[in-house]
């Protein structure tokens, strides 16, 4: 069964410093991986995805993620954190193959990112 | 373009009452998902539909929960009778299954409190 793990409940970063939010995955077949962000009292917003191709994926708000097949990881990164990046971040994997009927996403438990001025 | 629209945004009810949550997916999307978010369990898939047909309802907690999608633009999640442990934020999401690469588009959620 597909799954993702986010080993950190919380990540604390100073504004201007680089940030990394970790995610590892376990899938059968090719992984389709996603990052979402959730601000307080809001729904989840799509940040970026990896389907195939370049291992470095660029997304919204200056975020990027690096797919590493050998380490089964898909860590979210940003070169310079902003206070406004403080939110809950979710890694997710698609339950089924591309185009298949199982289009639901399986989410990690989330990592709270706190960026201090 | 309008996103996924959920109503109500907040619902406070008493144990035993019926609760109905509503969702309007993005126009043109043919898959719809209901998720529940709690502190203890995170995000859990309850049920999802493809082309208005329920595909997987294995996440529905028990018979008190039911979901329908009578047409491509509307879905409901009903809890009857409600219990305090049903208190959570319920999210609806939609996508276009045939050619998309998987991202779901979420509504703002319905926060349910059962007293």
Phi, psi dihedrals of residue B97, rounded to the nearest 5°: -70, -30
Mean pLDDT for each 10-residue chunk of chain A (117 residues)?
Answer: 92 98 91 94 94 90 95 97 97 75 84 97
Cβ pair A101:B103 closer than 8 A: no
Pick the more confident residue, B102 or B106.
B106
Interface test with B, best of A41, A105, A111 (most B CBs within 10 A): A105
Confidence of residue B99 (pLDDT cuts 50, 70, 90): low
Average pLDDT of the segment spanning B49-74? 93
| Set of chain A residues whose Cβ sits within 8 Å of the Cβ of B111 | 41
Out of B43, B95, B111, the one facing A103 most closely (by C-beta) is B95
Residue the block writes with tokens 């059968």:
A28
Name every chain B residue with its beta carbon within 8 A of the beta carbon of A105: 45, 102, 104
Supply the DSSP symbol for A60: G
User: Where does the pLDDT of residue B79 fall: very low under 50, low under 70, confident under 90, or very high at 90 and above?
Assistant: very high
The 10 Å Cβ neighbour count of residue A89 is 24
* Angle in degrees, CA B43, A34, B35, rounded to 5: 20
């Amino acid at each position: 069964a597909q799954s993702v793990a986010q080993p950190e409940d919380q990540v604390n970063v100073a504004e201007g410093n680089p940030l990394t939010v970790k995610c590892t995955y376990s899938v059968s077949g090719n992984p389709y991986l996603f990052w979402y962000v959730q601000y307080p009292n809001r729904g989840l917003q799509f940040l970026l995805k990896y389907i195939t191709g370049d291992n470095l994926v660029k997304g919204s708000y200056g975020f990027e993620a690096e797919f590493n097949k050998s380490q089964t990881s898909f860590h979210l990164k940003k070169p310079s954190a902003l206070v406004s990046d403080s939110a809950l971040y979710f890694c997710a994997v698609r339950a089924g193959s591309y185009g298949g009927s199982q289009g639901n996403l399986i989410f990690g438990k989330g990592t709270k990112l706190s960026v201090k001025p | 373009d309008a996103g996924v629209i959920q109503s109500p945004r907040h619902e406070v009810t008493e144990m035993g009452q019926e609760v109905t949550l509503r969702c309007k997916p993005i126009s043109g999307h043919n898959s719809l998902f209901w998720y529940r978010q709690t502190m203890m369990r995170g995000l859990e898939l309850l049920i999802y539909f493809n082309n208005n047909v329920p595909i997987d309802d294995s996440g529905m907690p028990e018979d008190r929960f039911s979901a329908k999608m009578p047409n491509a633009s509307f879905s409901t999640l009903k809890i009857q009778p409600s219990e305090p442990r049903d208190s959570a934020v319920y999210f609806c999401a939609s996508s276009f299954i045939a050619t998309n690469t998987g991202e779901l588009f979420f509504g703002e959620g319905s926060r349910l409190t059962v007293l």
